[in-house]
Structure 1
């Protein structure tokens, strides 16, 4: 039996006149919020919701992921984690670790942090994985009319999952970000709007991107949940867009990177670029 895991990123992209992609959804599972930041003063809650028509079971665990310069997240084997990453895994506490949800039934996962005394200042991060547990496949009786070894049968069972970052901040931390050059390029999946993003400081940056044409108030493109984590000083952001929008994005634009709206939406950086 062959199984595969299918994950969805936490990035929402809004195109002019379009509907936002539900970035916190995978299969029949919804997760909110899509990011947790803890400072040790109190815990928080993550809510799961089964939007399917059948009961479903989900397993919750922690894993380490590192950002790449291309903006992806590589899963790191337990044997290869750094002491700081191991500390993040040890500090995060959550319950329950396995839930079975009837259709349209929410479930609260309580998340807390225990910061040992003397922990060096810094940002520590692990990723919480919510993975569907498939039902046991029923046994299939052999066909007596077919000789043994006549062929191979493979069943594909989709195993859906979502990961969200759980960030612990210790001490007085700060960071800044700078928008680099921007361009429209082709990918195997179609055109994309690309730009560089550089980070300085001792914590991650996270926020929303808005691209506008000078003199026009209506944005051409809005992207939610753009992050640069501390393990990289710079990354490339690549946002897939329809061909007609890719053509409109070329030329002079203003790119604004702002804080998450939940913490005020202040400007992190703003730049005028000529997109080629």
Structure 2
């Protein structure tokens, strides 16, 4: 998941770009590139996440873990640790990483080592935290040196950019399935959107790609990568913003296919024919 932080913490999701572009091996925001965009740990082995500064100037990033909880609308709410469930707190304790702060010259990659330690007796299940890579702004003078001093105080607002990726720990023998529900086109303040309900069963998350096709049309009408339903919700609504000309083509009879990520085979999770209104 991508997010943009301006000032303190306001976020703007990048779902539109993720829905309409082909899957990429890395997430980018500002001048930071992060790969992979999703980490799954089996409870014993660790892995690596690679950061790369694609800007023209050196940049410093702080790395931390935070708790996010999925909503029925598909968003991710940040949860304070004091309000976290026992499973969410357990995830924070299982996941270790190093370093926690890096300064990257331009085009210089940096490996973040991610490890996991599952305490003995941990109940089977999926445990998840989100790793935040947050830019640290340079220290600058609050006043503009080009302006004469007036005795007042001026405040400089600096945009702060960051990326979050889910880090998932799976303990025990887990499984899940998904079912595609009703589909419809709606009009939002940001333009048309293609919507459908996606239900999950089982004891772990589901994650995959959506492809919408129509009989007699060679190319898919819509492809959306990286659609997840996390264990805290049994059903969510997927809403994908689309251009007006595509929204018109999506109404009527279509076939919606939800498939596993292509990196693990791309097998069909569910497929359904729907008449979109």
TM-score by length of 2: 0.91
Deviations 1:12-48 (Å, cap 9, x if unpaired)? Answer: 2236xxx778971110011111100001231111111
1:143 paired residue number: 148
SS at structure 2 position matched to 1:226 = strand
Distance in 2 of aligned mates of 1:166 and 1:184: 32
Superposed displacement of residue 6, structure 1: 6.1
Which has the higher mean CA deviation after the structures are superposed, 241-250 or 20-29? 20-29
Contact preservation (8 Å) 2:259, 2:268: yes
> 1:44 pairs with 47, 59, 68, which one?
47
Q: TM-score, normalised by structure 1?
A: 0.92
8 A contact 2:26–2:35 mirrored in 1: no
Bigger Cα displacement from structure 2, 255-264 vs 3-12: 3-12
> Match of 1:264?
265
Tell me how far 1:3 sits from its aligned partner. Answer: 2.3
**Could you tell me which residue of structure 2 aligns to residue 273 of structure 1?**
274
Instruction: Give the equivalent residue in structure 2 for 1:253.
Output: 254
The CA distance in 2 between the partners of 1:10 and 1:39, in whole Å, is 28
Q: Which runs of 5+ in 2 are unaligned?
A: 1-5
Q: Take 1:110 and 1:23, find their aligned partners in 2: how far apart are those partners?
A: 17
Aligned mates of 1:155, 1:161 — CA distance in 2? 19
Distance 2:25 2:114 in 1: 23
CA shift, 1:153, in A, is 3.6
The equivalent position to 1:80 in structure 2, one of 80, 83, 91, is 83
Distance (whole Å) between structure 1 residues aligned to residue 265 and residue 88 of structure 2: 29
Could you tell me whether the CA contact under 8 Å between 2:199 and 2:235 is conserved in 1? yes
The separation in 1 between residues aligned to 2:38 and 2:47, in whole angstroms, is 11
Q: How does 1:10-29 map to 2 (within 5 A)?
A: 11=15, 12-14=18-20, 24-29=27-32
Secondary structure in 1 matching 2:138: coil
What displacement does 1:254 show?
A: 0.4
The correspondence of residues 108-119 of structure 1 with structure 2, limited to 5 A, is 108-119=111-122
Cα shift readout 1:38-82 (whole Å, capped 9, x = no counterpart): 012311111111111100000000000000000000000111111
For residue 89 of structure 1, the aligned residue among 77, 92, 102 is 92
1:254, 1:63 → 2: CA distance? 37
Deviations 1:118-150 (A, max 9, x none): 110000000000000000122426734x4x45x
1:188 maps to 2:185: no
1:263, 1:182 → 2: CA distance? 27
**Whole-Å separation in 2 of the counterparts to 1:139 and 1:132:** 19
Aligned length: 268
Counterpart position of 2:105: 102
